[in-house]
Structure 1
Amino acid sequence: MTPSPIRRAGRPAATAPYRLFCLPPAGAGPSLFFPWLDAAPPDIDVCPIALPGREDQFGQPLPASIAALADTLAEALAPALDRPYALLGYSMGALIAWELVQRWRRRGLRQPEVFFALAARAPSAQVPREVPLHALPAAAFRQTLIDIGGTPRELLDNADAMSLFEPILRNDLRIAETYRPGPDAAPLDGPLHAVFGSDDALMTRDDVAPWSACTRGPFRLHELPAPHMLPRPQLVALMPALAGWWRRG
């Protein structure tokens, strides 16, 4: 059996009636979502998802593509679809979440009650850049990380640490920037909430709004006064809003 990619900071699996699967952005791991383990209401089991090559999976081969990563995760997470759930994808994580939905749909498995796309371009809005982020020269790449926010300055200024972190991040950016949705992708039936920051250095409302075509159900677009990578207090404060949107549909 494929090991579960769900990480709960050493806590036992929750018995809550609902699950929230959280897919991280490029370069990040499940610990990004650990603050939600305490911030979530008791009826929601927060399930941060580990990706290969980072945190406790450091050293594992980096994913070759979004599709290949989704293939692995779809199989590993299928046993956890035993109760109503929602999917939240942060930036690159939203593309992974979208591909998970497609795989589970084709297998006739339970579909999400709600889908959250956080700071993520819609699948149809993956517009190639003249110079992709993953191919930027070192100095420009570092400045881009500063503009995006979320990467500690101590890490950016530590050459040894960056030699370990940068290949992971560049690979994640590569698979996100080269991603294209499959021709048989079908829209969701349930609500889809797309959240973006007004100070996001990577995308605008026009990149996020096309998520509306990804569902036959209600679509909501939410703007926050935030950069691409939310500061921890703002990320924690987002959890009650997510729970409320889930309940209201």
Structure 2
Amino acid sequence: MSSPWFSGLSADRSGGVGERPLRLFCFPHAGGGSRFYNLWRQRLAPGVVEVCAIVLPGRDGRLLEPPYNRMEPLVDDLTGALAPMLDRPFAFFGHSLGAAVAFETAHRLRTLGLPQPRCLVVSGRRAPHSPVPPPFSHLLSDDEMLAEVSSLGGLPAKSLRHTRAIEALLPSLRADYRINDTYLPTGGRPLDHPIYAYAGDRDPIAAPDDVAGWQLATTGAFRLRVFRGDHFYLRDAPPDFAAAVVADLREAAPSAVPR
């Protein structure tokens, strides 16, 4: 089993559903790639949680593919790629833009009558009913856009010296920002499964009070967790964060995430 959409997906289909790890599909932030989640595979209960990063066109091994710049076609194609992979308990994690993509994908799965995630973990993102306020990042110049990403902690200063890497990043970053800036939720009734919302206490674009609004997006359980740090407080899965993710997955799927 392989697909360009996923990194870290196991090909092992042996054993019953309860004998295989819960799949945690991780949706990237704007401009983000699968490497952001590499360390998670060591820190989120290996053998119990299978961390599977979503790989979007325009980055990683899909660098030559044109990136999406609208939410609807992205969710259409991603849902089609996900469908064959939902043969065991799974959950969604999305950071920043990834939270919105994960949320819309969960809605699309429900509309199509496909299996639903045991829970949705959203991070660093204001609630869907709170649109991103102007000025819009996708309208900035290249230098302004890179400066903004760097100020949020999403791009180390040393990376700005690697011209080729930056040139390769810019198209997908701008396209992602366009999705982010123009996104409006598709509507419909709230989700039924739990939503766990995470925030950094010093996040300049998704304050804890903004993230708390995700409670309106589900009729299921809700929890807000606040961590020390800025927009990228979760980088490298620090111990308190990793423990929180595993605890929330265990609460939502106790038989799939044993102690």
Q: Fold-level match, TM-score > 0.5?
A: yes
Which fold has the larger relative contact order, with Cα–Cα distance below 8 Å and residues 6 or more apart in sequence? 2
Aligned-residue CA RMSD (Å):
2.2
Name 2:257's counterpart in structure 1: none
Q: Deviations over 1:163-196 (max 9, x none)?
A: 221222111111111011113x331212111101
**Change in CA separation of 1:14 and 1:207 when aligned onto 2, cut-off 3 Å:** farther
Separation in 2, partners of 1:226, 1:2: 36
User: 2:4·2:61 contact (CA, 8 Å) conserved in 1?
Assistant: no
Letter in 2 for 1:128: P
The one-letter code of the counterpart of 2:195 is L
Counterpart-to-counterpart distance in 1, 2:22 and 2:49: 5
SS in 2 for 1:117: strand
- Which of 152, 176, 188 is the aligned partner of 2:180? 176
- Cα distance in 2 for partners of 1:138, 1:112 equals 37
| 2:192 counterpart of 1:198 | no
Report 1:139-150 matches (<5 A): 139-150=143-154
1:216 is displaced (CA, Å) by 0.4
Residue 105 of structure 1 corresponds to which residue in structure 2? Answer: 110
Report Cα offsets for 1:185-239 as digits up to 9, x if no partner: 3312121111011121222123212111111011111111111123644456522
2:211 matched to which residue of 1?
A: 208
Q: Which runs of 5+ in 2 are unaligned?
A: 15-19, 253-259
- The whole-number CA distance in structure 2 between the counterparts of 1:24 and 1:14 is 26
**Aligned match for 2:190, one of 187, 190, 198:** 187
CA distance in 2, matches of 1:90, 1:231: 9
Aligned to 1:124: 129
- Tell me the distance in 2 between the aligned counterparts of 1:136 and 1:51: 22
2:137 to 118, 133, 137: 133
Distance 2:60 2:44 in 1: 23
The number of residue pairs the alignment matches comes to: 246
Residues 133 and 141, structure 1, Cα contact 8 Å, conserved in 2: yes
Runs of 4+, deviation exceeding 6 Å: none
Asked whether the equivalents of residues 39 and 237 of structure 2 are also in contact (C-alpha less than 8 Å), the reply is: no
Could you tell me which of 232, 235, 238 is aligned with 2:241?
A: 238
Deviation at 1:148, TM superposition (A): 0.3
Report the alpha carbon displacement of residue 106 of structure 1 after superposing the two structures with TM: 0.9
- 1:84 aligned onto 2:89: yes
SS at match of 1:109: coil
For residue 46 of structure 1, give the secondary structure of its aligned residue in structure 2.
strand
Task: Work out the CA distance in 2 between the residues paired with 1:91 and 1:231.
Answer: 11
Q: What percentage of aligned pairs have identical amino acids?
A: 35
Q: Which stretch has the larger CA shift, 142-151 or 95-104?
A: 142-151
Q: What TM-score do the two structures reach when normalised by structure 2?
A: 0.87
Structure 1 residues 108 and 198, CA gap change in structure 2 (3 angstroms) = same
- Partner of 2:53 in structure 1? 48
Tell me how far apart the structure 2 counterparts of residues 236 and 7 of structure 1 sit (CA, whole Å): 23
TM-score by length of 1: 0.90
Is 120-129 or 90-99 further displaced after alignment? Answer: 120-129
Gaps of 5+ in 1: none
Matched position secondary structure for 2:32: coil
Which residue does the alignment assign to 2:74? 69
Q: Give 1:5's aligned residue.
A: 5
Kindly provide the amino acid, as one letter, of the partner of residue 105 in structure 1. Answer: R
Distance 1:242 1:162 in 2: 31
Contact 2:142 2:170 survives alignment (8 Å): no
